[in-house]
Amino acid sequence: MKTITKIATALPALALLSACATTAPTTPETSTTTDTPATEQPSAAYDRMAPTPYTCTDDSMVMAKQSINKQQVMLNATLPAVEWDKQAIILNGQVNGEVASYTNNSNPEVVYAWHMKGNEAVLAMKWASGTEYNVTCRNSRDI
C-alpha cells in the first residue's frame, strides 16, 4: 500500500515535468525600444575579444569589433560633432586584402560607412539632405 501511495503522490509532479519537457522553447520578442533597428542586429558570430579602440581627429572615439567571418562590424561611437554618445551601429561588408569596407544603408535618412586599413580607419556618414560627416581614426593601441 505504501508503494501505491507514493506513486499516486508522484504522478502529478511527473505529469508536470513531462509537460515541461515536451513544450517547445519560444523565441523572446525583440524590444521595439532599442536604438538599433532590427535590420541592424548582429547576424554574424563575434569572438570574445575586446573591441579595438580608435581615437579620431575631432576628439571622437570609436570601438570597433569585426565578426569572425569579417563580413560584419559592430561600432560603438562617441562623436561630439553629430551628438552621438556611445551610439551602437552594425555595418555589413567584407575584407579585400588588407582593406575592410563596411556600410549600413538600412536607414533612408543616412548611410554609414567604416573603412579600415592597417591601423587607420575612416568613419563616414551621408544624410539624405546631402550633409556629410567624415572623420579619420587611428587604432588607439598603436598610439
54 in helix, strand or coil?
strand
Which comes out higher in pLDDT, residue 34 or 134?
134
- Containing structural domain, residue 100: 49-142
Residue 121 lies in a domain: yes
| Contact of 5 with 32, CB cutoff 8 Å | no
Residue 21 lies in a domain: no
Domain of 89, CATH number, reads: 2.40.128.30
Residue 98 lies in a domain: yes
Cα–Cα distance between 91 and 39 in angstroms, integer?
10
Contacts of 95 (CB under 8 A, 6+ apart): 70
Q: What is the pLDDT of residue 45?
A: 83
Residue 129 lies in a domain: yes
Cα–Cα distance between 104 and 91 in angstroms, integer?
5
The total number of structural domains that make up the chain? 1
pLDDT of 3 higher than 60: no
- pLDDT classification of 29: cutoffs 50, 70, 90: very low
Average pLDDT over residues 73-91: 96
Task: Kindly state the helix (H) or strand (E) to which residue 111 belongs, with its residue range.
Answer: strand 110-117
Which comes out higher in pLDDT, residue 16 or 123?
123
DSSP label of 130: S
Grid cell in block for residue 20: 515541461
pLDDT of 107 higher than 90: yes
